[in-house]
Amino acid sequence: MIPHTPLDSARLSPAAQRALGPGPGRTMAARGLLPLAPADQIAVLYQLSLDTESTLAQSARATAAGLPEKLLAGALAQPTTDPRVLDFFAQLIADKPAVFDAIALNPAVADQTIATLAGRAGSREVDQIAQNEQRLLRHPEIIAAMYMNRRARMSTIDRVVELAVRNGVRVPGLAAWDEVARALTGAPPASADGDAMFAAMAATTVRDDSALTTGDAEQALPEDEAAGAAAAQGEDDEERKLTVPMKVRLATLGDAFERAKRIRDPVRMVAIAAIKAPGVTDIEAARYAGNQALAEDVIRYIAANRNWTKLYAVKVSLCRNPKAPIVETTRFLPFLRQKDLVNLSKSKSVPSAVAAQARKLIMQRSAK
């Protein structure tokens, strides 16, 4: 989103300047009651939407949202339209096809506005955005927005990711970009059937996952994998037909149940994409930190995440997990409670170096 700052009044038409001048004309303009040319009307409504008087600003926004689609599209298609005005209407009303087309095809539109549209639009509109390869390479944040849009076709995503990889462009905003890029290697491009299959599976990854994602992270039980195990069961034919790029994207877009399934995938990049997903909560991190069945790379990623390792539940879970890097676990040991240190000192499942360090810390605390 670009900053919505007031337009230079000197560049407005005389009619627009009069509408914005002092007097009752401002209120009439905000309600759409003044006879203005379409180009003037959208500029005036944008300007009034920024007014310090909240009632006037709200009225202007409501009028802008209710403008006839054909009239609005014609005004927004003009190449002289200010990029801020285009962005304003993109935020407000771009769900109408004609309005979207007018904004997206206007040469004056800002790249940031296109990124906003790419994250919200339907599959047809995303395909249209994907056609401008020069813009995608210039502003790869658009690719990130497309990737995170569930309605974007998988075949379109494969194509724009391949475009970025081929041109050596790293896409910001995707923590799992390395996995997204590598997943394309050797993978067949998504077909129409693949698009339909991915869309159907993506639609099922929005569930009530509060049982897995909320609660007190300090009290999280890393051993409690029942929900995740249940989510991993019942793999069907469609699941086996998924390509690696599809699995990586599902891991990124999915809910906690989907992540619990993908994080156990035998393909390393799928599991890493799951732990890097933006939706992963502290509760999930604490649970996964203590799971010895997960790939070592997943545990290493958790141990390297400073936001997660601030939590006691994550520290103690990593110290109990033999797959965690010893360098990290020995750094966490001094922060553990006495009871947890005693359990670690007696444990046969942790590395001997960790158990020995735990015993040393116990003796040091006893000597004080």
In this predicted model, what pLDDT tens digit does every residue of 226-265 receive, in sequence order? 554 454 454 567 788 899 999 999 999 999 999 999 999 9
Q: Are residues 208 and 352 part of one domain?
A: yes
Residue 368 has pLDDT above 80, yes or no: no
Q: Rounded distance, CA 237 to CA 333, Å?
A: 45
pLDDT given for residue 250 in this prediction: 96
Q: Rounded distance, CA 103 to CA 91, Å?
A: 11
Q: Rounded distance, CA 142 to CA 115, Å?
A: 4
Q: Are residues 329 and 227 part of one domain?
A: yes
Question: Which tokens in the block code for residue 337?
Answer: 């409670």
Confirm whether 96 is domain-assigned: yes
- Indicate the residue among 109, 129, 144 that finishes a domain: 109
Q: Are residues 231 and 340 part of one domain?
A: yes
Q: Running DSSP on this structure, what letter comes out for residue 235? A: -
Length of the chain: 368
Is 151 exposed, middle or buried, given 0-12, 13-18 or 19+ CB atoms closer than 10 A? middle
CA distances from 303 to 153, 212, 248, 307, 316 (A): 34, 20, 21, 10, 11
At 346, the pLDDT band (50, 70, 90 cuts) reads very high
pLDDT tens column, 164-212 = 999 999 999 999 999 999 998 878 888 898 999 999 998 887 776 766 6
Closest CA to 205 of 260, 254, 245: 254
Q: Are residues 352 and 210 part of one domain?
A: yes
Confirm whether 342 is domain-assigned: yes
Residues 6+ apart with CB under 8 A from 237: none
- Indicate the residue among 79, 109, 139 that finishes a domain: 109
Q: Are residues 101 and 211 part of one domain?
A: no
**Alpha helices for 5-94 (secondary structure H):** 14-19, 25-30, 38-49, 54-65, 69-76, 83-93
Domain count, the chain: 2
Q: Are residues 220 and 104 part of one domain?
A: no
Q: Rounded distance, CA 101 to CA 128, Å?
A: 9
Q: Which residue has the tokens 């801020």?
A: 84
**pTM metric for this prediction:** 0.88
Confirm whether 245 is domain-assigned: yes
Q: Are residues 211 and 67 part of one domain?
A: no
Confirm whether 210 is domain-assigned: yes
Q: Are residues 363 and 261 part of one domain?
A: yes
Range of the domain at 65: 9-109
User: What is the number of other CB atoms lying within 10 angstroms of the CB of residue 148?
Assistant: 17
Q: Are residues 224 and 87 part of one domain?
A: no
Q: Are residues 207 and 61 part of one domain?
A: no
Q: Are residues 205 and 100 part of one domain?
A: no
Confirm whether 171 is domain-assigned: no
- Indicate the residue among 86, 109, 132 that finishes a domain: 109
Residues 6+ apart with CB under 8 A from 144: 115, 171, 172, 173, 174
Confirm whether 156 is domain-assigned: no
Q: Are residues 217 and 83 part of one domain?
A: no
Q: Rounded distance, CA 368 to CA 115, Å?
A: 59
Question: CA 238: distance to chain centroid?
Answer: 25
Q: Rounded distance, CA 101 to CA 312, Å?
A: 51
Confirm whether 253 is domain-assigned: yes
- The stretch 323-341 carries a mean pLDDT of 94
